[in-house]
Amino acid sequence: MEKRTVYLKTFGCQMNEADSEQILGILGQSGYRSVDRPEDATLIILNTCAIRAKAEQKIFSDLGRLKVFKMKDPSVKIGVAGCLAQSMGERVLSRQPAVDFVLGTMGLDELPDLIEKSGRGEKGVSLAMSGNSEEVRPDAVRSSLVQAYVPIIYGCGNFCTYCVVPFVRGPETSRPVQYILKEIRGLAGQGYKEITLLGQNVLSFGKNSKENVMFRDLLHLTHDIDGVERIRFVTSHPRDMSLEIIETMARLPKVCEALHLPVQSGSDRILHAMNRGYRRRDYLEKLELLRENIPDIAITTDIIVGFPGETDNDFEETLSLISEAGFDHLFGFCFSPRPGTPAETLPDPVDPETARVRLEAVFNLQREISLKKNEAITGRVVEVLVEGPGRKDPAIFTGRTRTNKIVHFPGRSEMIGKLVHVKVEQGLPNCLIGRVDHQDKHKR
Ligand code: 5AD
Ligand code: SF4
């Protein structure tokens, strides 16, 4: 058989990462081996993101560079998969003629067909609105040996006015419970200790299925699986974060004290225009409830600045919410109008420079808050799941606390994949520095 090698580059969120693992599984079946450099590949695939215009620009500039490999060797094939592929369809081919095939988000099983067609010189576009196998491929190629993402719900039905996701990933569809549990049992059997349940809004799990297993039930079922030591989930819509779920999180010791709860804005006017379905006060009340029930829970969020019509006053409300909420970390973005979304055509755009200055103010404020929070952990002993040596210094290892904070500490390779106790010696805005606490080593 001719040499078959694939260079796969993934953009965007964890859902895309999870899809890429599946794609590598499918390609493995056809004899493809994954390589780290595009120059070594006979097949190049970009698994793309469409959430902001920046992601789109980056993808087309990458394609411009990658086509050189095809010019050198015309048998090299280039495919574009994922959310941008789904939203642009055939237009990807006209914008970059070096692309051989376009594969959307919901028909990954079409991939071998598309490759075969391209071998015959035919350009294929597959934009199925369903059809991904719900059962995990046993040969999915996982990017981490320590923690694994498990999709539980696909698509999104919330239609926040700025967001392209409902258009490129379809309506909410819960994955059958038996497949989810089978996948998690398999992972636990392979030694994975940490499982992250994945979806655009995991709290909707079960609401759109006949199985009558809701998200809180799924937490219980996951908790019962031997070998799983830590459970996380992303993303949660604040509107759906109920007392019932908070109490379930508090009750189940394997569920980590960490929650990503995107607020987007602190202004009720903007939240309404975004169609988020909650007010500032509702959000802050949920944080209070979370902290009452789960002491020490770390909360992270997403913020969009420069949404159309956002005034200085609205923005001040976002800053004051950030202060009041006391997030552990946040991801901030300038609003980016996306094709086909309601917010694309809203009046009163915020000029890009104002948005940039606002975003910087958000980051500066959060940096101070994160630093204070992390400094307060100094001297404490935290449980860390060890991921491996860092990039800069191979003697300094990296892992994560239950609160999902990154910790750097002197480590050894036999610690990889294990839970160790680390005494925190320094808190920085984005990580903790510490040392393994040997007095504590018999605890676990
Ligand atoms: N512009 C800017 N940020 C966006 N996000 C989603 N859509 C847009 C957009 N059009 C952000 C939201 C979301 C995160 C994943 O990306 O904050 O929570
Ligand atoms: Fe987009 Fe809103 Fe759905 Fe999140 S909840 S994926 S922001 S539409």
Neighbours of 368 (CB within 10 A): 11
Backbone φ, ψ for residue 379 (5° rounding): 95, -15
The Cα–Cα gap between 168 and 19 comes to 14
301: β partners: 330
Identify the three-state secondary structure at position 151. Answer: strand
The Cα–Cα gap between 98 and 202 comes to 38
The Cα–Cα gap between 32 and 228 comes to 31
| Separation of CA 12 and ligand 1 centre (Å) | 11
Neighbours of 73 (CB within 10 A): 10
Name the residue at shortest CA distance from atom 2 of ligand 1.
335
Backbone φ, ψ for residue 88 (5° rounding): -95, -25
Ligand 2 pocket, residues with Cβ under 6 angstroms:
156, 158-160, 163, 165-166, 200-201, 237
Rounded to the nearest 5 percent, the helix, strand and coil shares of the chain are 40, 20, 40
This prediction has a pTM of 0.94
Ligand nearest to the CA of 51: 1
Neighbours of 397 (CB within 10 A): 24
The Cα–Cα gap between 162 and 140 comes to 33
Which 8-state DSSP code applies to residue 207? T
Ligand 1: nearest atom to the Cα of 337: 10
Q: Which pLDDT does position 133 carry in this prediction?
A: 67
What is the rounded radius of gyration, in angstroms, for the C-alpha atoms of the chain? Answer: 22
| Separation of CA 163 and ligand 1 centre (Å) | 6
Pairing of strands 432-436, 396-401: unpaired
Q: Which pLDDT does position 143 carry in this prediction?
A: 81
| Separation of CA 276 and ligand 1 centre (Å) | 12
| Separation of CA 247 and ligand 2 centre (Å) | 25
The Cα–Cα gap between 356 and 176 comes to 43
DSSP per residue, 99-123: --EEE-SS-GGGHHHHHHHHHTT--
Which of 201, 263, 278, 341 to probe ligand 2 with, by most ligand atoms within 8 A of CB? 201
Ligand 1 pocket, residues with Cβ under 6 angstroms:
51-52, 162-163, 262, 264, 302, 304, 333, 335-336, 338
Could you give the dihedral angle defined by the CA atoms of residues 305, 375, 235 and 240, in that order, rounded to the nearest 10 degrees? Answer: -90
Ligand nearest to the CA of 166: 2
Tokens of 199: 């979806």
* pLDDT beneath 50: ranges in the chain: 441-444
pLDDT (tens digit per residue) in 79-108: 999 999 999 999 999 999 999 999 999 889
Helix 312-325 and helix 280-293: axis angle, to 10°? 10
| Separation of CA 240 and ligand 2 centre (Å) | 13
Name the residue at shortest CA distance from atom 4 of ligand 2.
200
Name the residue at shortest CA distance from atom 5 of ligand 2.
158
Ligand 2: nearest atom to the Cα of 235: 4
Which strands make up the sheet holding 101-103, listed edge to edge? 33-34, 5-10, 43-48, 77-82, 101-103, 124-126
